[in-house]
Structure 1
């Protein structure tokens, strides 16, 4: 484990993602069908040059995240994703948005304070291994099926509920994906790149990354079409690190302290991050969705 590499690249990944998400949301809103998600809307986005540039930014962020996860534990690196929101707020301002309000600053304090306290509580994981392929496969299938069921159940709900569910499911996919990236990078370190294509312990995580990544990106863009940003982003950024930590501990056996004081601390940190995320997302939503804020 090399935190001097893992943490800077993890932060850089969040910065790139936070910048890209502002552009993606703006383009998705411009091409949404009156706040309704649709496959046709996704196809229009896929042909938009600015949107494609933002997706290229996501690819850069993903590469940074791979480097971070190959050098550090998932339970330490994946929570850094919540830095996307303060970054997104700053990028919105640079792109002509309003100056941050007191609520925005308090949201930043909540996100950064909750993240910092969580990392302090976690400490430095010392145990890690690559699970057997069938365990990985079962976990990924379970996450995909449960997520798909939640999306189906929420499809007829109000926009704010759909946005929250789409965001949470996409976040759970990305958090699980991070665990798969860590498992795949471990195979590469042990047996070389060829192991990703010739051994089950390499192929299963690699295929899982592709499937989870595609599903997560599609759901994220659908949630942007819905437009309920104040519900979507907090749900996404709560589920993403939560799934990363859970599966990092269960599948990779990364050590996470589980005493009663630690568990209480984790809940407080999560509450602080979610509260800060809601404040920041609502601040952005007031700019991005002036005509639909009352929906």
Structure 2
């Protein structure tokens, strides 16, 4: 499939994920809160979450997003698909305005244009649009998996420490958001690996470890994402997740799948600049989204 087709699949996936995030965020505010990471709190949180109708609808939306993402990753590289998924923030903002019956402001249009331009700019200046994935590098894959586990565990422990000492909820939400973004990047890499194994037949996939690693990491990611939504405001957790995912994904694409991006001082500098602009636009758009969401559900913590 051509590059426009891969990008179209990624955009469709982003639309489904934005709907899923909106539904699961609402669900997180309607289940028992986790205050001290005790076993009983975690159990009650998990049981009530999987029973909540909004969370179940969010999972259905996730399934649609994952199907399109899996196809996009099979046909394209991590360095292309994952950065494009960042525009889910735009879909979520439009959805919020639609529900609230409000109009998109000029500032939001400008920020949206900046976000799209920064993603497109990264794809072009980094060479991601022409980078072809090579064979999977086993040693970098093991090292990346170990580093990801360390980051996720470290963020969860730090969030637990912050919540126990009643520090600002924003800190805990941001830390959990980073953990979730790291897991999402790892699951995307596993999805790409599973898609390659599946081309050898369903039996090969069922007998391979990446499938079960994908299921386990996906379950952990869903659980931590729900905790991040509850731990603090969406304006803290969502930007952390949305910016960590593409950055870690690009690193995994280069290190694990040998997706060759342009080297040299200028391309690297411009690529980093695009990622910084993209992250800034995500943060600002998320703040606007939270403001819109609060008009739809007054009195509900953003």
Q: Structures share a fold, TM > 0.5? A: yes
Q: What does residue 86 of structure 2 align with? A: 82
Identify which of 265, 268, 274 aligns with 2:273. Answer: 268
**TM alignment of 1:28-107, pairs within 5 A:** 28-31=28-31, 33=33, 38-39=41-42, 40-96=44-100, 98-107=102-111
Separation in 2 of the partners of 1:265 and 1:122? 8
Q: What does residue 14 of structure 2 align with? A: 14
Unaligned stretches of 5+ in structure 1? none
Contact 2:131-2:261 within 8 A present in 1 as well: yes
Contact 2:243-2:279 within 8 A present in 1 as well: yes
Separation in 2 of the partners of 1:292 and 1:64? 32
Residues 101, 156 of structure 1: alpha-carbon distance in 2 compared, 3 angstrom cutoff:
farther
* Residue 136 of structure 2 is aligned to residue 130 of structure 1: yes
Contact 1:36-1:225 within 8 A present in 2 as well: no
Contact 2:96-2:293 within 8 A present in 1 as well: no
Separation in 1 of the partners of 2:202 and 2:144? 24
Identify which of 163, 166, 183 aligns with 1:173. Answer: 183
Separation in 2 of the partners of 1:121 and 1:262? 6
Residues 64, 162 of structure 1: alpha-carbon distance in 2 compared, 3 angstrom cutoff:
same
Q: What does residue 203 of structure 2 align with? A: 194
Contact 2:6-2:81 within 8 A present in 1 as well: yes
Following superposition, the deviation at residue 36 of structure 1 comes to: 8.5
Partner deviation per Cα, 1:239-289 (whole Å, 9 max, x = no partner)? 101111101110110111121111211221111111111111111222445
Identify which of 107, 116, 120 aligns with 1:116. Answer: 120
1:155 counterpart SS class: helix
Separation in 2 of the partners of 1:8 and 1:36? 42
Residues 97, 246 of structure 1: alpha-carbon distance in 2 compared, 3 angstrom cutoff:
farther
Following superposition, the deviation at residue 196 of structure 1 comes to: 1.5
Following superposition, the deviation at residue 292 of structure 1 comes to: 7.5
1:67 counterpart SS class: helix
Pairwise CA RMSD: 2.3
Residues 127, 48 of structure 1: alpha-carbon distance in 2 compared, 3 angstrom cutoff:
closer
Structure 1 residue ranges (4+ consecutive) displaced by more than 6 angstroms after TM superposition: 34-37
Separation in 2 of the partners of 1:177 and 1:127? 17
Residues 127, 52 of structure 1: alpha-carbon distance in 2 compared, 3 angstrom cutoff:
closer
Separation in 1 of the partners of 2:279 and 2:140? 30
Following superposition, the deviation at residue 146 of structure 1 comes to: 2.3
Give the TM-score normalised by the residue count of structure 2: 0.87
Residues 278, 188 of structure 1: alpha-carbon distance in 2 compared, 3 angstrom cutoff:
same
